[in-house]
Amino acid sequence: MRIVKLDETSRENLLADLLKRDPNNYDSYTKQVAAIVEDVKEKRDEALFSYTEKFDGVALTAETVRVTEEEIEEALQTIDQELLAVMRRSMENIRAYHEKQKRYSWFDSKPNGSILGQKITPLESVGVYVPGGKAAYPSSVLMNIIPAEVAGVPRICMVTPPSRNGKVNPVTLAAAHIAGATEVYKVGGAQAIAALAFGTQSIPRVNKIVGPGNIYVALAKKAVYGHVSIDSIAGPSEIMVVADETANPRFVAADLLSQAEHDELASAILVTDSMKLAEEVSAQTDLFIRELSRGDIIQKSLDNYGYILVVDTMEEAIETANEIAPEHLEIVTKNPFEVMTKVKNAGAIFLGEYSSEPLGDYFAGPNHVLPTNGTAKFFSPLSVDDYIKKSSIIYYSKEALEPVKEDIMKFARSEQLTAHANSIKVRFE
């Protein structure tokens, strides 16, 4: 990995490099995605099935697009039973963590005859997108569905591209079943997002769409936002490790590569105040790449967006982390808890040398759907909050309203809204 002494120029170049990965910069795909979305909106099933045959090589009908109970049972019997047991244990941790996020309605009654409150209601339906193809991502299934189930969403609809045999990957399907999906459809890409947003004869529309996908999926979610809610426009994966001289270079190198293997746009960055550690980590990444199955992808990722940044002080390292706002931030220092208190911007924070990023991806319980491309400055991880909505509750008796009526009318008249003022006035004539 390249080692860079961090200064103002290298910092600016780094930030500019990372921003190139933002899905919002891929304008060349926008028109193509917009055409697909509009086509599905107008022609519904006809367009949906046409694109599925074109892109996935599978001919679907209204009778075959939805996964059947028999297909679910077949998947449960087909997959490695030990893997199924692992997924169930992971699911328990994810559910226990998200149960602590649940919000409840509240009401505040005052002696003057007023009641104010907030009513919490789960969304009526959500659509969960899960990538397909050769790879299966059951962890993504669990992370997107379980918070919705905990929130109390009654209809959880999953879509995922079919394999060439017209079936859903059995591991993906088994994960969806145990997590609580109520429906699964064999469609993917921008056409699946459009179907969820506008509805077709076979797929009823949903209120919100969540889940990761390729650039077509990301831009389709952006295109339908406003017709439905979405979680975010997810960019490529990224990891930052902030480490000092006490860190194990082998551990640090392994963790950096765990994200670099996702794809060639993934970002892996070490920030350290130790040149010795920087050199050792760089050497160790070279050794690991020769051994790992996705070495070619890792190398391209590191060539494009991999950095070892050497700073003068740990304070500068923390400042760099806050500026980049990484999706995953590992703190491997003598006192990681002290460093953590100074971190303002990060999707998930991993403390100490045994809290590696894959622990969060698969098993610990916190959600692995995290803000990318610097959006951790204003976005949060996927949570139960993403699957609820809040309504304000207001009740005033006549006795509670009377002392404040003049204040309200004065405020309304100052905005030239005399009908607002009159609405209060008539109640005391």
369 bridge partner residues? none
Phi, psi of 234 (to 5 degrees): -75, 135
For residue 63, the SS3 value is coil
- pTM for this prediction: 0.92
Strand 106-109: give its sheet, edge to edge. 106-109, 114-122, 388-396
Q: Given this model, what pLDDT does residue 8 score?
A: 85
Distances (CA, A) of 55 to 14, 157, 176, 191, 272: 36, 21, 23, 10, 45
Q: To 10 degrees, what angle do helices 170-179 and 138-151 make?
A: 20
Per residue in 409-427, pLDDT (tens digit) is 999 999 999 999 999 999 9
pLDDT averaged over every residue in the chain:
94
E-assigned strand segments in 273-311? 306-310
Q: Given this model, what pLDDT does residue 25 score?
A: 67
327 a catalytic residue: yes
- Cα–Cα dist 322/304, whole Å: 22
Q: Given this model, what pLDDT does residue 256 score?
A: 95
| Annotated active-site residue in 327, 330, 353, 357 | 327
Q: Are 350 and 328 in contact (CB under 8 A)?
A: yes
Q: Given this model, what pLDDT does residue 215 score?
A: 86
Among 147, 141, 209, smallest CA distance to 174 is for 141
| Annotated active-site residue in 177, 262, 328, 368 | 328
Quick one: DSSP state of residue 307?
E
328 a catalytic residue: yes
Residues lower than pLDDT 50 in the chain: none
